[in-house]
Amino acid sequence: MHFTFRQLHIFESVARNLSYTRAAEELFLSQPAVSMQIKQLEDHIGLELFEQIGKKVFLTEAGKELYHYSQKMFRELNEAKDILWEIKGGNQGTLTIAVATTATYFALHLLGCFRERFPRVNISLDVANRESLLKRLDENTVDMVIMGKPPDSEEVIAEPFMENPLVVVAPTHHPLAKRKKIPLELLLKETFILRERGSGTRSAMELFFSKLNTTIPSSIEISNNEAIKQAVQAGFGLGIVSQHTLEKELTLKRLLILDVDSFPIMRYWYIVHRENKRFTALQQAFKDLVIQESKELINGTTFQINPELG
């Protein structure tokens, strides 16, 4: 079986786009040239890689297998390219990271610091829920992940680098706003705005209430931190969110943190990568910065329960 790198490159583009036209545009080729290369590749392999049903292009079983391995191969090649760049002396390369939705609030700050130091770095940032983050780690499509609850697998290295306090937020006019040490029983009478299933914040909340032998009281589900804060502001209920999401609302006095017994729920942020990941110097520099820079963030964190409580 003999085929060329160029054919594989064209195959990868058609398979990713599931379109000969889009692949041709992407590769600056004519569509007949793309079709011819795919035909030659199929002839070399002796199997069909695509099937066309109506106007739609699908991968055959052989096509799916080849797509899986070609993606793997191109990832490795990109890694090799980055390492070769470094050997040539350029602080150039790609950093591919994925972060939990809630972590975006500080991850962008960390990435900003990183780009100041390495202005020629290309950054790819994926914001996703825990389930997708685990998949990306498993498929080795990211260099590092920032998440609240690392997987239990021995194949990953997870280092905690910053506290992640979950607090109860309320609109400023809420009847409990001025109370100190609010007992949990009172909280159970409230409506809560919850994150979606699969969110780390949500599962921490569920765990918290299950330890109290109760379930989350009346609730409204919203899959977005910003929308949750707006719903709380509008009086739909209380929220339990990471303190990292609240900087603006606390400064502008749009929301306040209630002084509730047993709160905050203390969690941690982890930087996670596969155990056998071979980092370029640039990727290692990012990991070091996260661990270094977050220490400053921790020191700078002041925990603001409703300031009027004194």
Residues near ligand PGA (CB under 6 A) are 100-102, 129-130, 147-149, 195, 199-201
Nearest partner of 102 among 255, 233, 225, judged by Cα: 225
CB of 61 to ligand PGA, least distance (A): 35
- Say how many C-beta atoms besides its own lie within 10 A of residue 113's C-beta: 15
Q: Are 279 and 143 within 8 A, CB to CB?
A: yes
Closer Cβ to ligand PGA, 147 or 256, answer by number: 147
Least Cα distance to 159 among 138, 145, 142, 140 occurs for: 145
Separation of alpha carbons 209 and 203, rounded Å: 10
Cα–Cα distance for residue pair 8/66, rounded to 1 Å: 9
* Residue 283 Cβ vs ligand PGA, minimum distance, rounded to whole Å: 22
Residue 58 contacts residue 51 (beta carbons within 8 Å):
yes
Least CB distance to ligand PGA at residue 132 (A)? 10
Q: What whole-number distance in Å separates Cα of residue 105 and Cα of residue 272? A: 18
Cβ distance to ligand PGA smaller for residue 201 or 283: 201
Q: Judged by CB, which is closer to ligand PGA: 129, or 283?
A: 129
Among residues 207 and 234, whose Cβ is nearest to ligand PGA?
Answer: 207
Residue, CB closest to ligand PGA: 200
CA distances from 263 to 160, 187, 208 (A): 20, 11, 10
Least distance from C-beta 31 to ligand PGA, angstroms?
Answer: 42
Select 114 or 270, whichever has its Cβ closest to ligand PGA. 270
CA distance 195 to 219: 10
CB of 190 to ligand PGA, least distance (A): 20
Minimum CB separation of residue 62 from ligand PGA in Å reads: 37
* Residue 93 or 148 with smaller CB distance to ligand PGA: 148
Residue 161 parent element (H or E): strand 156-171
Per-residue H/E/C for 11-65:
HHHHHHHCCHHHHHHHHCCCHHHHHHHHHHHHHHHCCCCEEEECCEEEECHHHHH
Nearer to ligand PGA by Cβ, of 70 and 223: the residue is 223
CB 128, min distance to ligand PGA, A: 9
Q: What is the nearest approach in angstroms of ligand PGA to the Cβ of residue 174?
A: 23
Residue 43 or 226 having the CB closest to ligand PGA: 226
Give the integer Cα–Cα distance in Å for 237 and 220.
8
Q: CB nearer to ligand PGA: give 37 or 101.
A: 101
Find the shortest distance in angstroms from Cβ 202 to ligand PGA: 6
Report residue 279: phi and psi, to 5°: -80, 140
Of the candidates 220, 210, 228, the one whose C-alpha atom is nearest the C-alpha of residue 170 is: 228
